[in-house]
Structure 1
């Protein structure tokens, strides 16, 4: 069964949802604003360094490119949803999941949250309003699951 981002995840028998994480609209636009400013500066510097007569136009082009990209991807990105259960972290779309016992590392990464599995797979939860809280909640769920399995 194909799920759309708005569908509820398919849970296993007895599995409980602990939390749901969605991108924050304000954070999404702030992240893109920072990216636009950085790329604007880089474009201006490169064009100035190669002695182009149009470094300001290149800088404006960089800002516009990031803005158009952000606007184009906003609907898709802001509809993503990660679901934390007592057994796994269900990735957007509901078709793939990371078992809590397979999470080797969960850490903040430039305001987002990076998950690294014991197999080396990496997943990024982007544009979250409170990345530190998400890290704490995933780590707590993982540690609690590990204690239950050890008992």
Structure 2
């Protein structure tokens, strides 16, 4: 469903540079961090309102994040982004972002955020090396700009 077809419609002369995939270890590490943060917040809020069960609320937060992670894992880990010499093809292969339309490419809590000149935002989630992906995308964009200029 979110996978890019092997025969994704590339334009004539367009070259694949990289296929970007979520990292399973990173996915679970992100959920672990989220669980710890929410556990602390739940415990603090319950303690502040004088609940006799802050530990149970904290446990509930951890379990909720764990169930969410397990439920969404197969869908999230099947996402693929395709970087070409002209654009980034988004999961599903139907939409893309042209490299020359990118205003900002940055890491955001370990993920990679793309912001276009029109203000559209896209998030490449749970990548093992977000900084490396940012460099790849910016290098491809700069090469494209030099060829067009």
Q: Please, what TM-score do these two structures have when normalized by structure 1?
A: 0.96
Partner of 1:126: 125
TM-align CA RMSD: 1.0
How many residue pairs get aligned? The number is 148
Partners of 1:6 and 1:79 within 8 A in 2: no
Structure 2 runs not aligned, ≥5 long: none
- Residues 1:13 and 1:114: Cα distance change in structure 2 (over 3 Å): same
Q: Which of 4, 7, 13 is equivalent to 2:5?
A: 7
- Residues 1:117 and 1:5: Cα distance change in structure 2 (over 3 Å): same
Partner of 1:108: 107
* Within-5 A mapping of 1:1-151: 5=3, 7-8=5-6, 9-150=8-149
Partners of 2:35 and 2:61 within 8 A in 1: yes
- Residues 1:6 and 1:15: Cα distance change in structure 2 (over 3 Å): closer
1:113-140 CA-partner distances (Å, limit 9, x unpaired):
0100000001110100000000000000
1:15-55 CA-partner distances (Å, limit 9, x unpaired):
10001100000000000000000000000000000000000
